[in-house]
Amino acid sequence: MINPEFLAKVATDALLQEVNLAPKPGLVDPISTGAHKDMTKDTFYQSIEALCPYLLAYAEAGSRHNGSPLDLFNELRTLGKQAEDAMMAATNNINTHKGANFSFALVLGATAHTNGNIPEALHYCHLMTRHLIEVDFANLDQKEHLSYGEKLYVEHGIKGIRGEAATGYPSLAKALNYYNTLHTHTPRHRDLLLLLYLMTFVEDGNLIHRGGIDAYKQVQKEAQQLFEEAQTLTETELANRLEDYDNVLIERNLSPGGSADLLSLTFFCHQIQQNG
């Protein structure tokens, strides 16, 4: 079986790779805090450090599991809530990695359980979470206080990261396939293109929460246009364009956090496949 400590190390590296990539429009990186006035790259480093023991726990849970997918999901969800509490304590209640923590719990557990087979792991995520939409979004009309994810579902039918997980992470599989085609680019150029690609299609709850549906659709449209132009840009030219777009999203107070989460997950899955 694949080593849980190895999986946790790859996950940690993937989260660091995401925060260290720059420039990222609207997002925190080493040269900008993006549209986030309450956090810096150091906040992310503190958060990742707090999550490290739980990344290992997710992988260990998947490695030793011999019950049903739902049983593993329930164990991972319990661990995930503990991890979220540790993250919030480390960041003074700043939400840096709530979405990423949810997905890494599932993907790490599933990857360990399937011995590093990423397609099988993503399918196992589906088996673990296919009940989520029905269960988590049941009786919302009777609930007094809704999370923003629940509000998105009620108002727009947007299922967000729950829907992504419940369908086996199709956006992650799509991003991974694209990332694997970028053999001739430098690592940074490749990573910037991947982020931009994700921004063209990810159902990004962070964007919708901050700006509404129209702002989300506008960012997707702008990202698509920039992505098409990026095919003929050098790495430096692309970085300059993304830095300009960072200023645009800062002005609008918009952050594509959902794309950032899938960016780090793609880094993780790619590295596991490279070591397979």
Annotated domain spans of the chain: 4-274
User: How confident is the prediction for the chain on average, in pLDDT?
Assistant: 95
Calculate the dihedral angle through the C-alpha atoms of 122, 174, 40, 233, rounding to the nearest 10 degrees: 160
The Cα 181–Cα 254 span in angstroms is 29
The stretch 80-89 carries a mean pLDDT of: 98
94 pLDDT higher than 90: yes
Fold entry, domain 4-274: Triphosphoribosyl-dephospho-CoA protein (1.10.4200)
User: Which tens digit of pLDDT belongs to each residue from 217-250?
Assistant: 999 999 999 999 999 999 999 999 999 999 999 9
Cβ-contact 127, 76 below 8 angstroms: no
135 pLDDT higher than 80: no
Query: Which DSSP state fits 9?
Result: H
Of the pLDDT bands very low, low, confident and very high (cuts 50, 70, 90), residue 157 is confident
User: What is the pLDDT, as a whole number, of residue 14?
Assistant: 99
User: Which tens digit of pLDDT belongs to each residue from 177-190?
Assistant: 999 999 889 999 99
The stretch 69-97 carries a mean pLDDT of: 97
- Burial class (CB within 10 angstroms; exposed 0-12, middle 13-18, buried 19+) of 259: buried
User: What is the pLDDT, as a whole number, of residue 141?
Assistant: 73
What is the model's pTM?
A: 0.95
140 pLDDT higher than 90: no
The stretch 10-18 carries a mean pLDDT of: 99
Of the pLDDT bands very low, low, confident and very high (cuts 50, 70, 90), residue 87 is very high
User: What is the pLDDT, as a whole number, of residue 108?
Assistant: 99
67 pLDDT higher than 80: yes
Residue 23's SS3 state is coil
The stretch 155-178 carries a mean pLDDT of: 92
Closest CA to 195 of 143, 243, 144: 243
Q: Residues 159, 176, 244, 30: is their CA dihedral positive or negative?
A: positive
User: What is the pLDDT, as a whole number, of residue 144?
Assistant: 78
Give one DSSP letter per residue of 196-249, joined into a string: HHHHTT---HHHHHHHHHHHHHHHHHHHHHHHHHHTT--HHHHHHHHHHHHHHH
97 pLDDT higher than 80: yes
The Cα 111–Cα 269 span in angstroms is 9
The Cα 14–Cα 26 span in angstroms is 19
Of the pLDDT bands very low, low, confident and very high (cuts 50, 70, 90), residue 83 is very high
Amino acid occupying residue 90: A
User: What is the pLDDT, as a whole number, of residue 80?
Assistant: 98
